[in-house]
Amino acid sequence: MLPLLLTAVLGAPPDQPEFTASGTGADTPTGKLAAISFALGAQVSTADGPKTVKGLVSLRQVGRPLPPFPNGAHLVTAVGDRIPGTFSGGDAKQLRFRHATSSDDWHVTADMVAAVWLRPPPADSPPDPAKYAWLTGPAPRDALLYRNGDTARGSITGFTEQGVKFTTDAGAAREVPFVDLTAIGFNPRLVRARKPKGPFAHLVLTDGTRLAVSEAAVKDRTLVCKAVCGPAFEVKLAQIVALHVLQGTATYLSDLKPAKADTVAFLGTAWDWAADRSVRGQPLRLRLGDDENTFDKGLGTHPKTVLTYDLAGKYIRFESLVGLDTVTGRRGRADVRIRVDGKEVPLPELKVLTAGNAVPVKVDVRGAKELTLVVDFGPTGDVQADVNWGAARLVAE
């Protein structure tokens, strides 16, 4: 059994939650999670008995919206983890961090950490640490973001209980108290995204935690996991909002390079498509029912954009949730179309896409060579017409 370094106790209800499971098959059973394997699939206990989902793609807790990213102090890793909690220092090789629900420290290797937010990030901070203006630069270095907005660039040489040991590019060595800082960033050139070779999962918890896990097993009403960034932990099933299997049967479009990508300006400004964020560099936001959901994987587009992907006959299904961004698409309209091998798929709800609930899309691409996504101008041109493709993925057998 994995050692338990984290137990999530966020006031979960006593009953085990129900999940909708998606795999390579057409059925998406809903029930209580009984067993899980990233390589083999999952078993769900439904009202009609146990159902096995082969080639697991995702689990989604019924009635739970996907939360936004953590908006307080949190750690950001090279594999996309966002872990709310408290940073307590470390050394040149390992950092100590305590998850918001844990009584024990996690030890995470320094070369897997992109940044540590000691305080809430500014509202305009992009979701991708590679886009942090205060961290990136022509000569990558460690960086400190002060509470007053100033930035110092240089080398982190260690930590104390109260601060960070830092040598500036000018050669001045100092200890900077944590209380003076908003964030600590680590040299992007030295950060390593060490992903497992086989299938692993992206876990989303109710408090906004995002965490890549390489192992998982159901035990009673908990999921026992091993994080890719190092520690083992246990989380109550009630606190899991979603689980997406990566490097398995599903391939996300945001991880592929389009064979063709064309954008056309409406009045002089063309908007490039974006992977795993909106065209404005913000999280992918879509409305489902009465709730706003934040998607970690997907595409951000704006009229007019045409993206074409080579399929090579390897997939059986394309699926996504398509809608206007809940913030930058509130009053827009767009004409969205999907073509398979040049033939348009009849999806009338997409052709008159307006603000409101995202449209679930499942398109049969069995044997197809090419998939094309078209986001065209609506009656009002491109005003307030940012179109997000949540969890846009291709599924293989």
Q: CATH 2.60.120.1060 region(s) of the chain?
A: 251-395
Instruction: Give the tokens for residue 197.
Output: 């070779």
CATH architecture of 74-185: Roll (2.30)
Below-50 pLDDT ranges, the chain = 1-14
Distance of CA 145 to the CA centre of its chain: 24
**Domain 251-395 top-level CATH class:** mainly beta
pLDDT at 15 (0 to 100): 67
Task: Write out pLDDT tens, residues 295-330.
Answer: 999 999 999 999 999 999 999 999 999 999 999 999
pLDDT at 139 (0 to 100): 86
Distance of CA 370 to the CA centre of its chain: 26
User: Alpha-carbon distance 182 to 169, whole Å?
Assistant: 20
Q: How many residues does the chain have?
A: 397
User: Alpha-carbon distance 116 to 111, whole Å?
Assistant: 13
Backbone dihedral region for residue 149 (phi beyond 0: left; psi -120 to 50: alpha; all else: beta): left
Q: CATH 2.30.30.100 region(s) of the chain?
A: 74-185
Mapped onto helix, strand or coil, the DSSP state of residue 130 is: helix
pLDDT at 236 (0 to 100): 93
pLDDT at 385 (0 to 100): 96
Task: Write out pLDDT tens, residues 123-154.
Answer: 889 989 989 999 988 889 999 999 999 999 99
Instruction: Give the tokens for residue 282.
Output: 């913000």
Q: Look up tokens 């999530």; give the residue.
A: 8
